[in-house]
Amino acid sequence: MYIYKVGVVGAGTMGAQIAQVVSFAGLPVVLADRDESLARRGLDTVRAIYQARVAKGKMTPEQLEEKMLLVTASPNLDGLHDVDLVIEAVSEEFPLKQRVFRELDRICPRSAILASNTSALSISAIASATTRPAKVIGLHFFNPAYAMPLVEVIPGLGTDPQTVDDVVGFSESLRKQPVIVKECAGFLVNRLLSPYLNEAVWCLQDDDISIKEIDQDMVSFGMPVGPFALLDSVGLDIALDVARILHRSYGPRMAPAPLLEAFVKAGRIGIKTGKGFYDYGAVEKDSLDLERLRMQVWQLNGRQPAKWSRLRPLLAMVNEAVIALQEGVASARDIDLSMAAGTGFPSEKGGPLHLADQIGIDHVLQELDELQERVGIRFWPAPMLRRLVDAGFTGQAAGRGFFSYAPTMAPMR
Ligand SMILES: NC(=O)c1ccc[n+]([C@@H]2O[C@H](COP(=O)([O-])OP(=O)(O)OC[C@H]3O[C@@H](n4cnc5c(N)ncnc54)[C@H](O)[C@@H]3O)[C@@H](O)[C@H]2O)c1
């Protein structure tokens, strides 16, 4: 199915960015919100994104105006009566999404695909609000959508394979890298990123190291920003919400770090409030004293602060990547590709599964066993690791691991 015209519902942060991406690819797009002023505000955001390109000399003012002709604002969903695909980007509340999908189902042509940009809600549950679950799918963009190459395509239980093909083709026409992800909490990228970020917070609690030193060490590993700078920019409240959703779904290994909860409770939720793990010039003082808190934890545990190792947060991500691989959430190649394109995982390391191959899967397993003993049950190694080691698939040095390093062997799926 060719997509000639697109609708975007919700003209906030993501909706406006997505409308810009769609118009940039040359397709007409209707940007709808609850009223005229909200929809117009979205249009202004689209213009601002284009203006930044003009300022950088990446397009001319005339080209900007041509692109803007493709974007129209609608004060309600009625403006979406003739689109081929809708991308829903309203606030992350399930009853709201259900209401919006019910309305879209009534208004949009029977042939139209209804996609959701939700970060965490169930696509299958959203689809159940419509009479066309075969045409409902997840299409998850990353912030900022105009810069991030990855989109996760998430079929629900009732999604037709044709809908998946259509949305993959559409994503490619936007010059994005689509990755098909089996429906699960956090989908792929957030499911793997959250334990890494959460573990960095656990390390801050347990280890004798500062926020800045951890960030610097992860940047020297190759991450584009350190975990605390990233948490501050995402918002600690949002990160905690995600961690709680994952905890509910996957159990103890995803339990949010108590220090993350303490920061959110103290209102230190990141750049948007002027204070998170770093200080951005907030005027108001708060009572959270990180050093005192850490002392209390160390005394309570009756032990000396531990020595920091970057392997600890990285292995939290690696182990989750292996569990996701076992569950068939995505292939080994797509898992690594997603973490590189969706989080900036250093390309020379290839992704968490390539990293495991480089470190040696036997070594990864040994480290996880030790962490499980010393730190906690959340480091219980994914069963596939033991299976690989027992079979001699220990990684790059052995010529085979998650990937094959011998020219004749097919990659592991
Ligand atoms: N912000 C991010 O970094 C990010 C990244 C990926 C995915 N997401 C997901 O994208 C979605 C939107 O997030 P956001 O950050 O852009 O939110 P936002 O709050 O910036 O925007 C939401 C928009 O939805 C509009 N809206 C609310 N009810 C509506 C209705 N009944 N009809 C039409 N419009 C309505 C609001 O007026 C607002 O403009 C969420 O599902 C979120 O989880 C967000």
For the stretch 343-387, pLDDT in tens is 999 988 899 999 999 999 999 999 999 999 999 999 999 999 999
End-to-end alpha-carbon separation of the chain, Å? 30
Say if ligand 1 is within 6 A of residue 217 CB. no
Domain 311-398 = CATH 1.10.1040.10: yes
Q: Domain 189-301 belongs to what architecture?
A: Orthogonal Bundle (1.10)
What number does the ligand 1 atom closest to the CA of 88 have?
A: 11
- Average pLDDT (320-341) is 97
Measured from the Cα of 141, ligand 1's closest atom is: 6
Is the CB–ligand 1 distance for residue 309 below 6 Å? no
Distance 112 CA to ligand 1 centre (A): 21
> Considering the chain, what percentage of its residues have pLDDT values greater than 90?
86
Query: Over the stretch 101-117, which tens digit does the pLDDT of each residue have?
Result: 999 999 999 999 999 99
Asked whether residue 409 carries a pLDDT value surpassing 60, the answer given is: no
Residue 354 designated active-site: no
Instruction: Provide the pLDDT for residue 175.
Output: 97
Total Cβ atoms within 10 A of residue 410? 7
The stretch 14-35 carries a mean pLDDT of: 98
Q: Please, where in the chain does CATH 1.10.1040.10 lie?
A: 189-301, 311-398
Mutate which of 13, 78, 98 to test ligand 1's pocket (most atoms within 8 Å of Cβ)?
13
Instruction: Kindly list the distances between the CA atom of residue 86 and the CA atoms of 3, 125, 301, 383, 398, in Å, as whole numbers in the listed order.
Output: 10, 17, 52, 40, 48
Global pTM exceeds 0.85: yes
Between CA 295 and CA 303, with CA 298 as vertex, the angle to 5 degrees is 145
Q: Where in the chain is the domain with CATH 3.40.50.720?
A: 6-180
Residue 299: left (phi > 0), alpha (psi -120 to 50), or beta? alpha
The residue among 244 and 303 whose pLDDT is bigger is 244
Q: For residue 311, give both structure tokens.
A: 């392997």
Q: Is 127:102 a contact under the CB 8 Å cutoff?
A: no
pLDDT of amino acid 293:
76
pLDDT at res. 400: 96
Q: For residue 327, with 0-12 CB atoms within 10 Å meaning exposed, 13-18 middle and 19 or more buried, which class applies?
A: exposed
- In whole angstroms, give the CA distance from residue 351 to residue 223: 11
Is the pLDDT reported for residue 171 higher than 70?
yes
Which band of pLDDT confidence, cut at 50, 70 and 90, is reported for residue 22? very high
Average model confidence (pLDDT) across the chain: 94
The residue to mutate among 35, 119, 230, having the most atoms of ligand 1 within 8 angstroms of its beta carbon, is: 119
- Give pLDDT, residue 111: 97
CATH fold of 6-180 = Rossmann fold (3.40.50)
Q: Output the CA 121–ligand 1 centroid distance in Å.
A: 13
Choose among 10, 369, 316: nearest CA to 192: 316
Name the burial class of residue 213, with classes exposed (0-12), middle (13-18) and buried (19+) by CB atoms within 10 angstroms of its CB.
Answer: middle
CA of 14 from ligand 1 middle (Å) equals: 6
Instruction: Looking at the CA of residue 120, tell me the nearest atom of ligand 1.
Output: 43
Q: Nearest C-alpha to atom 2 of ligand 1 is from which residue?
A: 143
